[in-house]
Amino acid sequence: MDATTTPATKVATVKLLIGGKFVESKTTEWRDIVNPATQQVLAKVPFATQDEVDAAVASGKEAFKTWRKTAIGARARIFLKYQQLIREHMGELAAILTAEQGKTLPDAEGDVFRGLEVVEHAAGIGNLQLGEFANNVAGGVDTYSVLQPLGVCAGITPFNFPAMIPLWMFPMAIVTGNTFVLKPSEQDPMVTMRLCELAIEAGIPPGVLNVVHGGEAVVNAICDHKDIKAISFVGSTKVGTHVYNRASLAGKRVQCMMGAKNHAIVMPDANKEQTLNALAGAAFGAAGQRCMAVSVAVLVGDARNWVPDLVEKAKTLKVGAGTEKGVDVGPLVSCAAFDRVTGLIERGVADGATLALDGRKPTVPGYEKGNFVGPTVFADVKPGMSIYEQEIFGPVLCLVGADNIDDAIELINANPNGNGTAIFTQSGAAARRFQEDIDVGQVGINVPIPVPVPMFSFTGSRASKLGDLGPYGKQVVLFYTQTKTVTSRWFDDSTVSHGVNTTISLK
């Protein structure tokens, strides 16, 4: 649904967060937040004005003056409290997320929990933001480096993980001494705002965390703002490329995690039942709306005979509203997403792929208006087909055949994207060849969605990532800080002068 100019008077309104206060926007442009299972309007979200964006950044800039000097232990203790508050409100957060995004309640809890892990990691900042020291690098000379915060940073997050990805961003930026302006997805910002309320309750000072809402105009305002030093983005390749180019030209530090077409190689020696379970979960969980979802399975050799088994496994998954017990696949996030996914399924049939399982028009009693598409399986898919080339972002799995592992690796490396990949095998030699030769950021060996835990950095390659440093892990500490190197020498009255030194050497 597009933004409208209807005043937000009949339903709840989502607030802005500026200077530590949750305030009503003065905009005339609003968008409905819609429950994708029922089409019920849950709230209205504002598209912030330029003045409101400027006020959020100004608030962050002012707060930075004192926050950057706050003791690192004090910053860490705020996030210790924050992680406890998230745990205490896990059920509430998951319920909000399910209502506005459509995920099943267990998957929604997983969304929150994976973000919580980064909050826990942020609480250990005392061991992460360490510099280096070298004693006596020359006569009486010491050299050391410190990692200092940048200033006001910003984050732009997608609809598919409205809890996890904001928690990837602002905790690590803030705990390293920066202030932050967050722009959540306008499709499902309610759980993000509840997380921000809990962050304020945990003790984040006024102005350190700010939130604005909106679409392209707000994104551009963030990219162009002279006082924003760094931007983290997760979302589509089209928008991410725009953000990277525009913000980079404005002199900002930028990281963009973008589109994907994730392949999983299935070797004929793989454990069949475990592999089928893993593929079904990774392809159809969250209705396929994960940037790390497996959307292509490359069946090698005799594994090509597993197509009927995979179809039968997919048929066991239950489609329904995320609030219902036993549901495996919830609705797509919006009517537009539904139209796009069903349109690509039609295109796949037209292009000559074999529709082994058609998930369109599933029966979901009581939710006839929902954006439901069931598990869908295409066999005989070939590069060049729309369903292979495009990121469908729905519960659609494409099956491709390969004669051997070398052909499978070549196929994956030829794809423009390099977000995640996996191999299913019982051969250590095959697994090692795969991990060595594959050009993809996240690699799973008998693990279908290899998103790293927070001690390691989320990566990516080729069209899936722009910028050298990834979110969370050690890399993100470098992203949100500037290294300052100091070389020092102290003299006392007994020091013997060596006269004028006109060389660059230290003596």
Q: What's the farthest any 2 CA atoms get from each other in the chain?
A: 90
* DSSP bridge partners of 233: 156, 256
Q: Which helix (H) or strand (E) holds 397?
A: strand 396-402
- Other CB atoms within 10 A of residue 311 CB: 16
Q: Rounded distance, CA 463 to CA 54, Å?
A: 32
Catalytic position from the list 153, 196, 256, 291: 291
Nearest to 255 by CA among 314, 332, 197, 172: 172
User: How is residue 383 written in tokens?
Assistant: 């590069």
Which string of b and e fits 171-199 if b means at least 16 CB within 10 Å? Answer: bbbbbbbbbbbbbbbbbbbbbbbbbbebb
Residue 396 to residue 349: CA distance in whole angstroms:
13
Q: Which of 37, 35, 41, 2 is nearest to 369 (CA)?
A: 37
DSSP string, 150-196: -SEEEEE--SS-TTHHHHHHHHHHHHTT-EEEEE--TTS-HHHHHHH
Q: HSE on the CB side for 440, CA within 13 Å?
A: 32
Q: Is 27 exposed, middle or buried (0-12, 13-18, 19+ CB in 10 A)?
A: buried
What is the Cα–Cα distance from 273 to 24, expressed in whole angstroms?
A: 53
Can 291 be counted among the known catalytic residues?
yes
Helix and strand element counts for the chain (H, E): 16, 22
Q: Is the dihedral of CA 135, 141, 143, 149 positive or negative?
A: positive
Q: How far apart are CA 242 and CA 256, in angstroms?
A: 10
Distance CA(493)–CA(81), nearest Å, equals: 50
What residues act catalytically?
291
